[in-house]
Structure 1
Amino acid sequence: MKHRMHPESLMMSYGYKPQLSEGAVKPPIFQTSTFCFHSAEEGKAFFELAYGLREKGIQEEQGLIYSRINNPNLEILENRLCLWDKAAEGAVFESGMSAISTVMLE
């Protein structure tokens, strides 16, 4: 029988890949506002997806574009909270007003 880890144990590293952050074992605090793209086309695609101008393609990932829209720390938190609550998706906001606005506009 395979041992299943508790959510408390899984949350210690879930949603974070050290090789993407200079090998840091724990997630660093990302204090940046903007992120680079491999090409202008990639940047355009990320913005279109973030603003709902098109549907997400198969195997396509939402890229980082601007910290008010998405941020590595928020993505890690969303992934861990989804794991904890056994949810398919989640949303974390940087302010109460952005959360309220999103709920009211949806």
Structure 2
Amino acid sequence: MTLPGYLAIRTISGRNGEFNVGRLSTSIGEFVIKDALLDQHHEGKYRGDFVITEIRPSYYTNGGRLVVEIRARLDSMSLEDVANLSADEAERLSNNETDPIDEEV
């Protein structure tokens, strides 16, 4: 399905190097995006159309806590413009995110 929305991307320095995480806001909900597709973009808030192929729950442990989130898998995206992240958006994409490489182990 293709949906218009906003994608907030944050660059995080992890133990395996820098990686990007995103939070996609659409008319049907808000989803976490952890995909190498994001690594080609700079930190910021992007407006565009997003082709979602899967929506699923995901969980991982971080710092003694269990984190449960709803993730969307993107097939592609068409971005129209970019703006700086607000302080609230940057905080919602915290520096405590687990590197997707570490989640696979």
Report TM bin, short chain. Answer: under 0.3
Greater fraction of residues in helix: 1
TM-score (norm 1): 0.23
Greater fraction of residues in strand: 2
